[in-house]
Amino acid sequence: MFKIIEQVFSQEECQHILQELEQGEWIDGAHTAGSLAKRVKQNLQFDDHNDDAQALSKKVESRLLQIPEFVSNALPNKFYPPKFNLYQNGGFYGAHVDNAVLHNPYSGEQVRADLSATLFLNSPESYLGGELQIDTGMGVQEIKLNAGDMILYDSGALHQVLPVTEGQRIASFMWVQSLVQDGKARMMLAQLDSNIQALRQELGDEHDSVLQLTELYHNLLRYWTVS
């Protein structure tokens, strides 16, 4: 899975989020890293032990659940609540793989990390460096998106954030446990759903082909869903 989802938030909405983040406290990102990741992590994270941080986290999660493209590709079951990070003054996050299992800091619920996501919140022209490098298995991709755009990718992929040498890179990051654990099955379902939506526009909801493919989609989803 390697999917860019544009305009999760408008640029104006991103500005409002950034203004709210300016009012809060940022802490050393190493506090939330695993024992190995601490050695290669140099950034700041928004302190999520306050009501404002949790409200912003819920705002991001709620918006994502309203975006058909995200829902189709992620098939979300559980979120590890969205957090916020900041890179500046050469800050970076070296090559690493995300933990397979996380614990929701608010509920303590266990979350299997199937998908990772980074939602960019400020303009790429406002900072130098800070590209997200992801090894897709078919080569390394460098990602630096417009404010409000998001990259969704497999949590098992080796990735890193290159040093920010000028300005600030501010983003929200999160993990998703999908209803469908198998990545290939999830990709096929997303492709099938995309084609169904195109056929609905062309043929209408009551066309036999639309109904049959919709039936197939839901039966495959039922078959592949992990309880």
For 201-219, the DSSP string reads HHH-TTSHHHHHHHHHHHH
pLDDT digits (tens, 9 = 90+) for 8-67: 999 999 999 999 999 889 998 876 666 666 678 899 999 988 888 999 999 999 999 999
Q: Which residues are annotated as a binding site?
A: 96, 98, 159, 169
Q: Is the pLDDT at 210 greater than 90, yes or no?
A: yes
pTM score, whole prediction: 0.93
- Residues 131-138 have a mean pLDDT of 92
Tell me the C-alpha distance between 164 and 173, whole Å: 17
In the annotated binding site for 2-oxoglutarate, the residues are 169
Mean pLDDT, the chain, whole residue set: 94
CATH class of 2-178: mainly beta
Q: Which residue has the higher pLDDT, 227 or 15?
A: 15
Domain residue limits, the chain:
2-178, 183-224
Res 110: pLDDT: 95
The string of pLDDT tens digits covering residues 115-132 is 999 999 999 999 999 999
Annotated binding site for Fe cation: 96, 98, 159
198 Cβ contact partners less than 8 Å away, ≥ 6 residues apart? none
